[in-house]
Structure formats: C-alpha cells, structure tokens
Structure 1
Amino acid sequence: MRMACDRSYIYVLGGFSPLLETLLAQELWRFNILTDTWELMSIPEKGFPEELASFASCFFGEPILSEFYIFGGTAVPFGTRASNSVSLLKRVRNGNFIWKRLKTIGDIPVKQYGSCLVHNNGKFYAFGGTTGWEYNLQVRSLEPEFNGKEDERDELEPVHWRWTLLHDGSDVNGRYRHEAVVVNDEIILIGGGTPEWTSPLIELLVFNTSENKFRTQMTLPDINYGYPVGRLYYGCVKFGNNAYILGGCTEKSVIHQLVDQIVLRPKLLQDCWKLDLKEWCWTLLPGQLNQQICFHAATVTPEGCVYIFGGTTDEKFERRTNQLQRCWITPPSLFYIAARAVVNAYPDLSKRFHDIALTNIFDYLSSIC
C-alpha cells in the first residue's frame, strides 16, 4: 500500500487486507482534505497490477495528481509471486485514471518487492528489495528514451524506458522496506533491513548520483533522547529540509516464552522523529501516532500536513486498521483555515457539490452568499 497527494486529495493505492476476497486491494481511494470524505475512484480493471503489497512508488502531484508510478511488489502469499514491472497510473484529459505498463529494456532487475523508488533530475532510482529469500541493495536508474528531437520530447511518449545498473550492491548490506529522500544530487537511505536485522539510524547510507557511489553520513542525536531505534515498515516523508520517520517496528528481538519454544517477535513503535537534512541532527517530536503501528502508508501535503493510513497493530501482523491520522508539521495557511471554516459553517456543501475541494471552493461561494 502506498499513498500520494495533491493540493485537494489524499490517495491510497493497493494494500493487503484479510477481509478482502482477493486479499489485495485493486483499488484507488481518495480522501478530500477539505470535506473529510472518502471516494472510491472508478478505474478500469484492465492493466491493474496484481502485486499490490510492498511495492515501491513515486508520484507527481503538484498542483493535481497526474502520474503515479509503481515498481515491483508482491502478491499473496508474500514472496511467492513478485514483480519487476513498472506501471503508471496516469490521469487523462477527462480527469479519470488509466493504467499503463511501461516497456522496459536494459539491466532489468529481478522480480522483487520492498524496494524504494525516487525521482531526481529526470530519472527514477530504485534501491534494493527482496525476492522473498535474498535481499539486495542494488541501485538502478530508469529513464525514458525517445525517437523524436530533444525539443519535442514534452509532446512525445517514450519509445521505451531503460534500466541501468549503477551499483551492484556489493560491500553494503541488502535490505528491504527502507525509504529514501533526495537532497540535491544525493539520495539518503533511511532504515529498512530484514526481519532479523535493521539498519541503524546513527549512520546513514548516502548514494551520490554523480559518482554512482555510496558514502556514509554520521548523524547527531537528540540532545535529550538520543537516536531513534532502527526500524522496518515505517512511514517516511520529506518536507522542506527535513525528513520524518513515523512508527514502524524493530527486527525480531522481543523474546516470547511459549509452551515448548522461545519465539522472537518485533516491537511495534509509535514514535515520530525529524531528521534535519542540513545539520544531520535527529529530533524526537513531542507527538506520537495514535497507536503502535507498522506497514502503514504516509504522505505529506504541499501545505505540510502529514497523513498516515492503515497498517497492522500487533506483533504477529494479524490485525489491520483503516484508521486515517493526520498531523501538521508546519502551521496551516490562513486560506486552509478559512476554507475549513466555510465547510464547517455550511455542512451541506459537500452533499450539494460532490467535487468541491480546496482548490475550487471559491467557485461555489456564490451559491451560499
């Protein structure tokens, strides 16, 4: 499951639920951040990926979600059927979405899940993942190739997309369910690991896209609370010059004594941390998530409101939630506050005008004046 956002909506794609007949949700939901209402988007089933757990994603959503790329992922049972495809959920002229499978060539990765995907300077970068048995930290770029002239590319569709292996992952620990943020020409990897090992957050791996090399970056602790514990299956967003990590769980390290055996379980987390990407200093935020949670999805709006959806709430990964949480990491704009005040004063607006949103509320004010 992954999330995306634009100025008006939060989007939730895919994910696992034992309550579904198919177990994986071939669905895209959107949440109106003005009216606090959910809507299931109508998307043709044709082309809908089947591997909708632990896929990597990257989206373009300013000011409106236009493209949502996904790579890899696994079907159920996890790890038995993984993917190395890249699919694009694209908004077309009528405002609807369609799926498109990208034609890829070059150093195509193995079928895997738990990778991370970021975009920088016209290229996608994919890091690591697992086949279900083996973990890697290979680095690949993915970029479009065209037949037309360079000045005509904005109007052309790529002929294909080329994978290029930039680093074979040697001399670094393989991992999955890590996240990454971009700072200029460098990509910072945060967390992740395997069920038995998590990458510590004292020292981070940084990939330089100019040299195609890893380096390590030491971080500074919170002066009162030290460092965050290493974690998997957490939420991560970047806003301004800061990265935020939210919840997750540790590796299997908590001992449970059963009748005839000792079982190791992970510890679920609900803490929230900020990493200053200029000073490389960690800060424990005063607020916590509503509950200990992992396998959730996270996104941050252009205005600076973090949304977290779903996840699992027990150490056996059996209980799921559909709770949506949000928290402002910067004061909301006066426009947002005023728009919310209008909707609260006129609660029937969202019923009368189905498509009312933060970006078009002024178009409907004349009807209530």
Structure 2
Amino acid sequence: MIRPLCRPPRPEPMAAKNFRMNRIGELFELKTFPEKKGGKKPCPRSGHRCVADKKGLYVFGGYNPNLDTLKRHYDDCDFEALDIIIPLFNELWEFNFASCCWRKMKTSGPMPTEVASMAMLLVGSTIVVYGGTGFPFGFTSSNKIYTLNLRSLKWKKHVTEEEYSPIRTYGSAICVNKENLYVYGGTTGWSYTSNVDCYNMDSLSWSSVYDSSIDWPPGYIQPHDYVQSPKPRYRHEMVSDREHLYILGGGRATVAFELETIYILNLQSKSWERRQSIKDKKHGYPGRRRCFGCCQLSDNVYISGGLNELMMFDDIWRLSLTDLQWTKFNAKLLFPTYFHAAAVTPSGCMFIHGGVKTLTGDKRSLKLSKIWLVVPNLLELCWEKILYYIPSICRIPESQLMQLGLPQHIISRLKFI
C-alpha cells in the first residue's frame, strides 16, 4: 500500500468559513473617515474633481456659495487674505492614505481659475485638467488644458496656435486613449453640445472627431439606419476601451438622461452606435441621473450618487464594458449626494468626497468615504492591517521601518508628496 506524502486537508470548520466570508464582505462596505479635530481639511464643496494613486487622493477645485460655512471653516479670518476666489476654491489638496491627514499642496506655475465642473484625470504622475467655469457660471468657461506634474508640483498651461479648438464649456467629460485626449459634451451656460474633440498630446494640436451639428441640418431627413449622436448634455461621464468611447448619463438643467441605452462612438469609423445594456436581475437599471461620480477600473465602470429632476441617489453600480451588464452594490453612500468627486486607486479602492446633500442645493459635505471595488492583493491587505494596528507608523523613523523589513516602495507611501 502506497501512503500519501501528506495528509488530505481537513474540512474547514463552518465557524471559520463564516468568519472568513464576513471578513471579505467587510471589504465591500462603505467606510467613512472620521473628522480629526484641529486638523486642516478642505472646506465643504461641490463641483470639484479628484484623482488617486497608490499613496494619496488629490482633490482640486470646487464651489461653495455659503459664506457662513466659509467663515466657520476659516475661523472668520479676512477672506482677502485667503488663496481662494470666493465662492470658488482654486486649490489642490492631498489626502495621505497612511496618515489619514489632509495637506494643502503648494504648487507653482499657472493654475486653472475655472475650477467648477471641470474634467480631470491622472495620467502616470501627471494630473490633467480640462475646461470648467469660473463664477458666475458660464461667463468665464474654458477650453484650455492644464497639467500638473506631481513630482515637481509645477502647473503647465497648454497653449496651441491652431485655428481649430473646442468651444468653451464646463461639465464636459474627458478620457485618454494612447496619445489622444478626447473631450465630449458640456455646456456654455446657455447651450449644450454633443461634439467630440481630440487633443493629440504628441503634436499638441486639436482636431474635431464628431461635429454634432451634422445630425440636425435644416430640412434634411436622415437615413433610417443612421444613428444620431447623443442629445447635447453636461455632467455626464465618458470611458473608453481603446477602440470606443462610451457616454453615460448626464443631462441639462431640468432633465437627466437614462442609463439603459449606452451611446458608443467607434473611434475608427467615427460613427455612433446605440446599444441596450443588461439590467441587474434583482434591481433592474440605475435611475436617470447627472452629476454623479464615475471611476473606471480595467473593463469595469463604477458610478455613484447623482440626481435627476425628482430625486437624489445614494447607490453604487458597476457596468461591465465587455457585455454592458449592470450590477448594483449592496453598499450605499453615506447619504444621497451629487456634484461630488470620486476616484479609484490602482489597486481598486474607490474614494468619494464632498458633494451637495439637498435638492435645494444649500448644504455641502466635506465627508470622505472609501469602498473596495475588488478584492485587493495580498500586499494591500497586509498594508491595511499594518496601518490599522500601528496607527502612529508615520511617526516612526524610516531607519526603524527598514529594520522591521518594510520595503522602500511601501515606506514612501507614508510621506506627503
């Protein structure tokens, strides 16, 4: 008789199995960071944007017209001494994941002044900002691109001498595909657009990808199989799978568009397609909305919150770009909100910050929450446990951390940029 080299594994006890499943389930619960008394933090705001890397969250811009809130936040100091343009915030904040502390970043160079409802994303270690509006909304809209290198903390304004450039808008959406930055939609404050424009980051030049005015020429009847571009809109979102652009939601001042049908632009043929998405078997489709949070992680898109003319939302949904399947998360936001900012880390943790808390638009939030969208890898799980059990790790000398065996790329996460 041949004996086995090792014993077969014992069946996992039910209690241990339930504990393990509960611990995994906790990852997908929304967790809100407590407000530290006396610590510096961004003022409650809306219309801002944020991006994230593996060590921190970067929050830029925003709007708050409530002077009482501003006075309380800034301790009734002289507003003329502040580095903000009331009621806009032309400032950049960093939230360090390890220390759970905020820091207002000191940058140089020409910073954007149109800092409400601009579009923003992170490319490598560079923040890209497009469009936006000053105050009053629409009077100082932008079609400029600004970049900020997170290593040098220096802003750069991209100036082109091309005859063609997009119209000045805010509430547009952008995404990067290879060397191209695509811009879709937005509003001037009086009219809305459905144009698609492209900025080539190698040649530093603009080109028109799709002019939506061709969809509505006077007296012309389109062929029956012709797919018009999406209705002009703002505060929508746009994602890409390298070959297509996907337009999600959005709306106008008094209307929001549905998410059941997805408009897709083929970048090669420059033609539009309308595709029906697949509803969640239990919860159906997400409600019509604009001004929601949106993050892309690989081939999945995650939306949160938003509003339409009837209600605000506190839900979180995932859309698979491979089959356009919607899936609703069990977790919810801390409260219904819109005009908030959302970003996802490379490892798959989504952060949600700020936003408007009432349909009347008179209350804004400074809350910061996070939720894991996927099961993190072992490195991230271990790092979270270290931060949990050693909350003062940021005050430990680097030499001691290295003696404990922490690698340099992990230790670097403890520092602000």
Q: Give your verdict on TM over 0.5.
A: yes
TMscore range, shorter length:
0.7 to 0.9
CA displacement at 1:363 relative to structure 2: 7.4
CA displacement at 1:126 relative to structure 2: 0.3
Runs of 4+ residues over 6 Å off in structure 1:
356-359
CA displacement at 1:282 relative to structure 2: 1.1
Which residue does the alignment assign to 2:327? 283
Contact 1:176-1:192 at 8 Å conserved across structures: yes
Which residue does the alignment assign to 2:178? 121
- TM-score normalised to structure 1 length: 0.84
User: Aligned letter for 1:168?
Assistant: D
Contact 1:57-1:71 at 8 Å conserved across structures: yes
CA displacement at 1:34 relative to structure 2: 2.3
For residue 272 of structure 1, the aligned residue among 290, 304, 316 is 316
Structure 1 residue 50 and structure 2 residue 97: aligned? no
Which residue does the alignment assign to 1:151? none
User: Aligned letter for 2:362?
Assistant: E
User: Aligned letter for 1:178?
Assistant: H
Highest RCO, 1 vs 2 (Cα 8 Å, sep ≥ 6): 2
Summarize deviations over 1:91-114 as a string: whole Å, max 9, x none. Answer: 3xxx33111110122421121101
CA distance, structure 1, for counterparts of residue 392 and residue 175 of structure 2: 40
Q: For 2:395, what is the secondary structure of its paired residue? A: helix
Structure 1 residue 307 and structure 2 residue 351: aligned? yes
Summarize deviations over 1:170-210 as a string: whole Å, max 9, x none. Answer: 34310001101111300101000112222211111101111
* Corresponding residue pairs, total: 328
Which residue does the alignment assign to 2:93? 29
Q: Which has the higher strand share?
A: 1
Which residues in structure 2 correspond to 1:1-369 (within 5 Å)? 1-18=48-65, 19-20=69-70, 21=79, 22=85, 23-44=87-108, 46-61=109-124, 66-91=125-150, 95-104=151-160, 105-145=162-202, 161-169=204-212, 170=215, 171-172=228-229, 173-250=231-308, 252=309, 254=310, 267-352=311-396, 360-362=409-411
Summarize deviations over 1:24-72 as a string: whole Å, max 9, x none. Answer: 112111111223221211113x4111100000122113xxxx2111111
Please, which runs of 5 or more residues in structure 2 have no aligned partner? 1-47, 71-78, 80-84, 216-227
CA displacement at 1:141 relative to structure 2: 0.6
Q: Which has the higher helix share?
A: 2
Summarize deviations over 1:190-246 as a string: whole Å, max 9, x none. Answer: 000112222211111101111111111111111111111110100011113211110
Contact 1:31-1:38 at 8 Å conserved across structures: yes
Cα gap change, 1:349 to 1:140, in 2 (>3 Å) = same
CA distance, structure 1, for counterparts of residue 256 and residue 412 of structure 2: 50
Q: For 1:337, what is the secondary structure of its paired residue? A: helix
Cα gap change, 1:176 to 1:358, in 2 (>3 Å) = farther
The structure that has the greater radius of gyration is 2
Contact 1:309-1:323 at 8 Å conserved across structures: yes
Contact 1:33-1:358 at 8 Å conserved across structures: no
Contact 2:64-2:364 at 8 Å conserved across structures: yes
User: Aligned letter for 1:13?
Assistant: F
User: Aligned letter for 2:357?
Assistant: T
CA distance, structure 2, for counterparts of residue 166 and residue 364 of structure 1: 40
Contact 1:8-1:359 at 8 Å conserved across structures: no
